[in-house]
Amino acid sequence: MQKDFSPLVGVCINSSKVKKLNQSLERGSINYLLEANKKLNTNLYFFSLVDINFEEDKVRGYIYDETCKKWEERFSPLPEVLYKKGGVKKKEIGEFNSLINSINKNNIKLINPMRGFNKWELHKHFQKNKKISPHLEKTVLFLNPEDLQEMIYEEDSIYLKAVRGRCGKNLMKIKKLDKGFLSTFFRKQPKKIPAKSFEELLDDIDRFFGGSPIIVQRTIDLLNIDNKLVDLRAEVHRNYNNELEIVGIPVRIGEAESPITQHSKSYTFDNFFRNTIGLSDTQINELYMVVENLLYEVYKSVEDYYGNCGEIGIDIGVDKNLQVKLIECNSQPTKISLKDAYGEEAVKKGYEKILEYACFLASPKTI
């Protein structure tokens, strides 16, 4: 890759992470970005929402000095390219909205959309795509008890998900019993709540989701190993040439009786389907091609709705008949499963792609 410019790239992190920078305690994604920048050589700095002077369009940024091996505080212009990491605190909503206005006013390029994906909006959008819709499970928006009641009595089990939520925190599985219902969710470990009646179940749901908008989704009959659910978390990126690349497709095996596969053990795609499921080379290649085609189609469809994305974590289910289903899409994927399955080099590659895409966005040809 050849380039003769060094774009100004700002990474917006939350204020608690900035404090850890000052104390030299921050690790993880920030270190990966610093390592990637040794190859890409952008003008990279980190900041939080409270570090922006909107009147002067300046930012109190934090730059890592490789020579001195320490963080330095410098005032910089607003970035040419912005990479948003993490959520937004309620007390910083005003600054966040001001940043959105500054992005529009100054034509700042975005690696990812500033707001996370809405599961219901994307589901409706995907339904219109003939290549994606066959891979969708029945999903409705939970507007009243009848929406839930109709679905729960049609199915043995269903999933409830907040339309905005990450890392399996706002997700509940409900199973219909002979008498009543059983709700399962994950809080450090699988938790179960029995309900003797539909009314009691509604109370449990209200306490769990706190009034957040919810979708109701038919359960996919996922592959499972020893009562542990199995799914795929594909890490897909755009690169310096604005091309899509699949960095890895980890296969995640959840904890026993858990409704999610996060906080789990991960394997490479080939390893799992060859050594655990026992597929032949031909079967693995055929399955991979179906998954690959779906990933590219989903990625482009998300961009049609939200605008350009530098990275998306796409969750895919494979059922017991090896049929492929789309579970959901995630902005700002954490790459934990990628590291577990494919190793640290794959994670480094992912962050290199992020900065490659920043260079593409800032290149004179793109502008």
CATH architecture of 119-136+221-362: 2-Layer Sandwich (3.30)
What tokens appear for 113 in the block? Answer: 């959309």
What's the CATH number for 8-110? 3.40.50
Q: Which of 367, 355, 301, 364 is nearest to 10 (CA)?
A: 355
> CA triplet 220, 250, 329: central angle to 5 degrees?
55
* d(C-alpha 54, C-alpha 96), whole Å: 11
Give me the helix-helix angle, 119-127 and 281-306, nearest 10°. Answer: 110
Q: What is the H or E stretch that residue 44 is in?
A: strand 43-47
Give the dihedral sign, CA 197/201/206/207.
positive
- Specify whether domain 139-218 bears CATH 3.30.70: no
Give the model's pLDDT for residue 308. Answer: 92
pLDDT for 263-313, tens place per residue?
679 999 999 999 999 999 999 999 999 999 999 999 999 999 999 999 999
Domains of the chain, by residue range, sit at 8-110, 119-136+221-362, 139-218
CB atoms within 10 A of CB 308: 16
**CA pair distance 333, 312, nearest whole angstrom:** 7
CA distance 65 to 72: 7
Residue 275 pLDDT: 97
The owner of tokens 């309620």 is: 90
What's the CA gap between 85 and 11, in Å, rounded? 7
Q: Which residue has the higher pLDDT, 54 or 366?
A: 54
More confident site: 215 or 166: 215
Task: Look at the alpha carbons of 344, 345, 347, 352 in this order and tell me if their dihedral is positive or negative.
Answer: positive
Predicted local confidence at residue 39, as pLDDT: 94
pLDDT of 167 reads: 57
Q: pLDDT band at 17, cuts 50/70/90?
A: confident
- Which pLDDT tens digit goes with each residue over 58-89? 999 999 988 888 899 999 999 999 999 888 88
